[in-house]
Amino acid sequence: MADKFPYEDIINIPRHISKTHPQASMADRAARFSPFAAISGYEEMVKEAARVTEERVEITDAAKELLNEKLNMIAGHLNEEHEVTITYFEPDKKKSGGAYISVTGTVKRIDELKRIVIMKNNKKIKIDDISALDSELFYSLGVEE
């Protein structure tokens, strides 16, 4: 006796199509078989943990004095609208550390009471977060070589 192939009796029967219920779209059918996310947010958590932040580097008193001198020079020449590159530390909102960011533009004003530098594009930078200032103004006034 020859072995029978399993399901041989139903292999060529046409698939049933309901006359009352519409056929599901391919996207709906695929969604039924998509993997179940048992832990929602896990991928985002892993990406956040892998994201690297920098530690803030404390600047010396001499560097602070030089920064203050440069800020005073900028304040004294605001009407000339010199382009300035400000490098500052921005703390991370989610974890310890942060990133050093450089912004180039024109300073609109320096608010010494609030201790912030306001750029022409209204970007506000805390003076205490500034780590470096660079401008052609400093070279022309002999502060930088």
Q: Which of 92, 95, 94 is nearest to 129 (CA)?
A: 92
Domain layout of the chain by residue ranges = 61-140
Q: CB of 78 within 8 A of CB of 135?
A: no
Please say if the pLDDT value at position 41 is more than 90. Answer: no
pTM attached to this predicted model: 0.65
CATH 2.30.30 assigned to domain 61-140? The reply is yes
Please say if the pLDDT value at position 145 is more than 60. Answer: no
Q: Which of 122, 126, 50 is nearest to 87 (CA)?
A: 126
Tell me what the pLDDT averaged over the chain comes to.
86
Q: Which residues pair with 101 in a beta bridge?
A: 88
**3-class DSSP state for residue 115?**
coil
Instruction: Give the burial class of 107: count Cβ atoms within 10 A of its Cβ; 0-12 exposed, 13-18 middle, 19 or more buried.
Output: buried
The model's pLDDT over 90-137, given as tens digits with 9 standing for 90+, comes to 998 888 889 999 999 999 999 999 999 999 999 999 999 999 999 988
Say what the pLDDT of residue 103 is: 94
Average pLDDT of span 77-102: 91
**3-class DSSP state for residue 54?**
strand
